[in-house]
Amino acid sequence: MPSPSITNALTIDVEDYFQVSALAPHFPRAQWDALPCRVEANVERILALLEAHDARATFFTLGWIAERYPQLVRRIADGGHEVASHGYGHERASAQSPEAFLADIRLAKAVLEDITGQAVSGYRAPSFSIGRGNPWAHDCIAEAGYRYSSSVYPVQHDHYGMPDAPRFPWRLPNGLLEIPVSTVRWLGRNWPAGGGGYFRLLPYAVSRWQIARVNRHDRRPAIFYFHPWEVDPEQPRVQEAAAKARFRHYVNLERTEARLHRLLADFAWGRADAVFRDAA
């Protein structure tokens, strides 16, 4: 059963369907402004969902989205949620030079702070793209003025992951707090327990058991994530994408919102900055 004494961190990566890394080859950056955006309506659905359960969350928001929908960013902040940064243009940290990465995350922070009038303390790299190959990224995040990052997923995955990283929040030498997405340690390895495609693919009972295990066995709050496009089964379908990419992106989209209702009812949820205020 869930632990009633632990508040977990609910996070939303605010990006549109055409900005997803797996579909990037089919949506060149130069075409983004010509594509029909669905993120505004989807975030409004999520805000209504959170309000129905009196829950708070952290919205890691793209600067590109924020510039085009500033009123939506203000709605998030006015609802008592944390506005955090997902970078500006949804480029993987691992695909950028340190100079380009630093410029991107500085721009995103400035855009979000200008819209909300509030300090932005959190950052999440697109596709959890900070690992052993680009440790300099954490120094850039600290230099840009962020207090914490949630950019490492300590799992084995074909597109991201650092399975030997700590499973729980850890402090870097530069003072930055890294808050990794939740995993369950079982059979000698880390298993994803923090949402995303696994939440849609596997039965809801699996996610419920995993989060409850983190709370009761590890005695730690979990951190969970999803995207606005995951509550949107009517989004445009990219038939030209590889079968694996299509499966990962579209599987069980029609079930996500109902599962989120159950998740919000089964556990207590809050903002990442509040849940992990005293971590590490």
Angle (CA) 269 118 91, round 5° = 75
Distance CA 260, CA 68 (A): 27
196 against 141, higher pLDDT: 141
| Helix or strand (DSSP H, E) at 218 | none
List beta partners, residue 12: 59, 226
Name the amino acid, one letter, at 84: A
Torsion region of 188: left, alpha or beta (phi above 0 gives left; psi -120 to 50 gives alpha)? left
Q: What is the pTM of this model?
A: 0.95
Whole-number pLDDT of residue 280: 64
Structural domains for the chain: 8-275 (3.20.20.370)
The answer on pLDDT for 158 being more than 80 is no
pLDDT digits (tens, 9 = 90+) for 160-194: 658 888 999 999 999 999 999 999 998 889 999 99
Q: Does 1 have pLDDT greater than 60?
A: no
pLDDT recorded at residue 160: 63
Mean pLDDT of 83-105: 97
Q: 7-14 and 223-226: which strand pairing?
A: parallel
Reply yes or no on whether the pLDDT at 99 is more than 80: yes
C-alpha dist (Å) from residue 264 to 33, 53, 174, 233, 250 = 34, 6, 35, 20, 22
Q: Which residues pair with 123 in a beta bridge?
A: 85, 149
- Nearest C-alpha neighbor of 145 from the set 109, 116, 194: 109
Q: pLDDT grade, residue 247 (50/70/90)? A: confident
Give the contacts of 254 (CB within 8 A, at least 6 positions apart): 233
Q: What is the pLDDT of residues 17-68, one digit of tens each?
A: 999 988 888 999 999 999 999 999 999 999 999 999 999 999 999 999 999 9
